Amino acid sequence: MAGKIKRMSQIKQLLRLYKQGKRKKAIARILVMSKNTVKSYLYKIEGGKFDVDELLKMDDPQLEATLFSGNPSYKDERYEHLKSKLDYYTSELDKTGVTRGLLWREYQQTTNNTYSYTQFCHHLNQHNKSRRPSLKLYHNAGEKLFVDFAGKTLSYVDKETGQVIECQVFVACLPYSDYAFAMAVPSQKMEDFIYAMVCCLKFFGGAPKTIVTDNLKSAITKANNYEPTVNQAMEDLAWHYETTVTPTRPAKPKDKALVENQVKLIYSRVYAPLRNETFFDLASLNKAIMRQVKLHNQTRMQQKNYCREEKFLADEKTKLAALPEEDFQIKYYKTLKVNPNNHVYIGSDKHYYSVPYMYIGQKVTIIYTRSLVKIYNDKGEKIAVHTRDLREGRYTTDSDHLCSQHQHYISRSPEYYLEKARRLSSTLYRLIDLTFKQDRYPEHLYKTCDGLLSLYRKTDPGLFHHACETAISFEKYSYMFIKNIIEKNPHQYDIKKEISKPLPKHDNTRGANYYQ
């Protein structure tokens, strides 16, 4: 009876003919099998003292298990001895430097009757598989999004330097339809991971109920089987898109087996077709990746009469939550003390932003994105908002945040002083207007104007008017000149008058003809 076991339907026909009293030779002729094969089956039935009627009532798997009960190797005395040590050998494999070869040599010293190295490894592997059974997971439409980074990178060439720039590849899929997304990013850092997540959700056109991510630092601050800690940026993204984050268990890739399999498909359907192409920037690389991902999503799936894209559009797209109008921008959080110049310094930007002066010396919370800087006091009240500026060493200042003295100081300009003088005195206005028409340093002129305004407040209007007219007449646009007129002797200087006096007559007069 060596060789392949006959189908159980044939064995049942053999049993019926045997029960009818047919001879072995007749049974072999009817069933078109050799007489020795018939003999061997009947010998097994007669030797095992099986009830033929009971055997005929059994289903095919039961009949096969009854007549051919397992591999004889599992009934070997050697197996019983090895079986008692398999748990120990499995635990030892997790230790540093322990190999199957080392364990096999130790096993050989425990008894004289041992398995060969190949059989030893076979039984050890079978034991490991039985201890780690797999569970088939079923997914609902729009419920989960699996994300991961591929282990292998893609690259582009810098045009200017010729340097090959390696890029990480972000991969995601919706497990219900297996609809896939992939893109290259500069690194696995938080900023690049969040940017890839935003692009991924825009590609799908909606957000799932939860995002299942690996325990990478870009998403998870502290990995834990029961209560992992999600970092602030990932929590903010989940809140923005009204979804949640579900980290996998540490070292349990089967928790997101579909995206692990998707990575393998991306290798063959994206990496391989692009292996001979050269790209000179990240944008062109991503354009090529999206072209191949589209073809992958439109390829018919094995043992199914539809492709991933058809399944996604038909059953899953409408189950995703609508995306907000604005894309998510990663938020950075800092707690800083307001400097004496009522500005805070963001070190990553090397830039200063103003805060209302009454908060000088206090600690404030700063939340900034790619475009905005928001500043909050210790009560959670928003006290300042600025457009983010990446120019190093610069100041972004809102004049309303300054005290009155500082507001006056930075608001100074010729127009400021002219408007102020116009409201006070026409003579003062003329004087300040002539002052600014001089070719002098503006800061000095501002101080002169401040002095003139101070004199105006302290001096009798008539006297001040006379002093201004005198200064204009003598073309002395000076604070000290006017102050001397007011304090010492207002009548010391007479206003210059243009007096026309004819030239005296004499014989030494040359006319115009002389110069021709």
Q: What are phi and psi of 336, to 5 degrees?
A: -130, 160
pLDDT over 90 at 43, yes or no: no
Looking up tokens 């004496």 gives: 340
DSSP state of 277: -
Angle between the N-to-C axes of helices 442-458 and 479-487, in degrees from 0 to 180, rounded to the nearest 10: 20
| pLDDT tier, 226 (very low <50, low <70, confident <90, very high otherwise) | very low
Mean local confidence (pLDDT), 137-148 = 80
**pLDDT one-digit tens code per residue, 326-365:** 888 877 888 888 888 788 888 878 888 988 888 888 899 9
- Residues 332 and 191 sit within 8 Å (Cβ to Cβ): no
Domains in the chain: boundaries: 8-69, 73-131, 144-319, 332-403, 412-487
- Residues 219 and 213 sit within 8 Å (Cβ to Cβ): yes
Tokens of 410: 């930075």
Which pLDDT belongs to residue 74? 52
- At 327, the amino acid letter reads D
Query: Which of 3-17, 127-141, 288-302 has the highest mean predicted lDDT (pLDDT)?
Result: 288-302
pLDDT over 60 at 252, yes or no: no
**What percent of the chain clears pLDDT 70, i.e. is strictly above it?**
82
**Beta strands 343-346; 351-354: pairing state:** antiparallel
Q: Which residue has the higher pLDDT, 453 or 516?
A: 453
3-state secondary structure 5-46: CCCHHHHHHHHHHHHCCCCHHHHHHHHCCCHHHHHHHHHHHH
Which pLDDT belongs to residue 279? 92
Which pLDDT belongs to residue 289? 93
Cα 21 to Cα 52: distance, rounded to the nearest angstrom = 12
Which pLDDT belongs to residue 389? 81
pLDDT over 80 at 467, yes or no: yes
Domain 144-319: top CATH class: alpha beta
For the entire predicted model, the pTM comes to 0.52
Which pLDDT belongs to residue 169? 92
- At 285, the amino acid letter reads L
pLDDT over 80 at 292, yes or no: yes
Nearest to 147 by CA among 246, 4, 9: 246
Mean pLDDT of the chain: 80
Nearest to 67 by CA among 51, 52, 45: 45
